[in-house]
Amino acid sequence: MISILIPFKNTQAYLNACLESILKQTYKDWEILAVDDSSTDNSKDIVEGYAKLHPNIHYILNTGNGIIPALQTGYRHAKGQFITRMDSDDIMVPHRLEVMVQSLRLHGHGHVAVGQVKYFSEEGISDGYARYERWLNQLTAKGTNYTEIYKECVIPSPCWMVHKSDFEKCDAFNPTRYPEDYDLTFRFYANHLEVIPCKQVLHLWRDYGTRTSRTHEHYAQNYFLEIKLHYFLKLEYNTKKPLVIWGAGYKGKTIAKKLTKKNIPFIWVCDNPNKIGKHIYGTELQHFSLIESLKEPQSIITVANEKAQEEIRKFLSQQNQKQALDYFFFC
């Protein structure tokens, strides 16, 4: 059986479509644990109405406040061998659960099943979301999601599935670090759950102006940088190698400030002649060519421009450095 965790709050306009898409799944052995995070609209009535008609749909009231307590509350009731999440405003394609279960059965424990995603919106999809969709699906098609994990969340929160035992190994929904989906992705990575490649769109991701990921403070850029640096220092950082920050924009400065507070030494480089030679947070910015003289450096790249990133890749490859081993893109 699959346990489907659905936290919801004031999504009455979308809940019917979400639940109907699950009822239409080709794979039938599932339970829905729909957790109400203090809704003030008719969301509760909608879920309870479905629960009366379908014994495998369960309405649960959040014992805390927020999406992480809601997930924790729902998970305490989970009885399935497989665990997955669903957003209450999204839609599953009819064969999503079947594809994911078959993938996990084929590959066994130690794997995470994912699917490609497609955004949809009555207001149209922005260029940023369209780029994210293409980038994410390219990684998912090859199962190379972790290679760019420090750029952005590489496993979409409503489109993954794992064995319950592997989920427990990754500490389930216990950590209270936001963004919770990005933190979970890092824990899959840290516990070496292999991503199963998928070339099929399995999830339809709704975008609209009041979506939580657009409006809640927990999904602001500073939270993403905090979580990236936390896991970089935990999983990648080698104190015997010189640490380099490349870039002196907002992200570079934020990371430099955090490293300075932690008393972690670093070398700061860029290619901006107006910044080279300046001291920020007590560290002098130097020309990136300095990297050539360093022995086995580890670099955090905070340059967002895609063309510039390609030039950086070329430069570092000439130094025999490898992405996700010697250098990491943080944007």
In tens, the pLDDT along 253-272 reads 999 999 999 999 999 999 99
Q: Do 113 and 177 lie in a common domain?
A: yes
Pick from 292, 299, 235, 310: nearest CA to 266: 299
In a domain, 227, yes or no: no
Q: Do 247 and 114 lie in a common domain?
A: no
pLDDT tens across 26-39, in order?
Answer: 999 999 999 999 99
For residue 269, give every residue at least 6 positions away whose Cβ sits within 8 Å of its Cβ, in sequence order, or none. 244, 245, 246, 285, 286, 287, 288, 290, 291
Q: What is the b/e burial string over 167-189, where b = at least 16 CB atoms within 10 angstroms of the residue's CB?
A: bebbebbeeebbbbbbbbbbbbb
Q: Do 21 and 106 lie in a common domain?
A: yes
Query: DSSP character for 138?
Result: H
Q: Do 155 and 211 lie in a common domain?
A: yes
Mean pLDDT along residues 211-224: 59
Query: DSSP character for 323?
Result: B
pLDDT at 166 over 80: yes
In a domain, 101, yes or no: yes
Which position has the higher pLDDT, 208 or 296?
A: 296
Determine the Cα–Cα distance for residues 328 and 241; give it in Å rounded to an integer. Answer: 14
Provide the domain count of the chain.
2
Quote the pLDDT of residue 218: 46
Quote the pLDDT of residue 126: 82
Cβ count near 279 (within 10 Å):
9
Pick from 126, 145, 125, 124: nearest CA to 135: 145
User: What is the domain extent for residue 273?
Assistant: 236-329
Mean pLDDT along residues 318-331: 96
Given 156, 188, 219, the domain boundary residue is 219
In a domain, 31, yes or no: yes
CA atoms within 13 A on the CB side of 265: 6
Q: Do 47 and 181 lie in a common domain?
A: yes
pLDDT at 219 over 50: no
Q: Which amino acid, 103?
A: S
Q: Do 290 and 255 lie in a common domain?
A: yes
In a domain, 231, yes or no: no
In a domain, 226, yes or no: no
Which residues in 223-310 belong to E strands, given as ranges? 243-246, 267-270, 279-280, 283-287, 298-301
Q: Do 160 and 33 lie in a common domain?
A: yes
pLDDT at 80 over 70: yes
CB 67 within 8 A of CB 22: no
Determine the Cα–Cα distance for residues 115 and 113; give it in Å rounded to an integer. Answer: 7
Determine the Cα–Cα distance for residues 104 and 97; give it in Å rounded to an integer. Answer: 11
Structural tokens at position 211: 């979506």
Residue identified by tokens 């009885």 is 79
Quote the pLDDT of residue 127: 84
Q: What is the mean pLDDT of the chain?
A: 95
Quote the pLDDT of residue 124: 77
Q: What is the CATH number of the domain that holds 40?
A: 3.90.550.10
Determine the Cα–Cα distance for residues 50 and 221; give it in Å rounded to an integer. Answer: 37
pTM of the model as a whole: 0.94
Q: Which amino acid, 300?
A: I
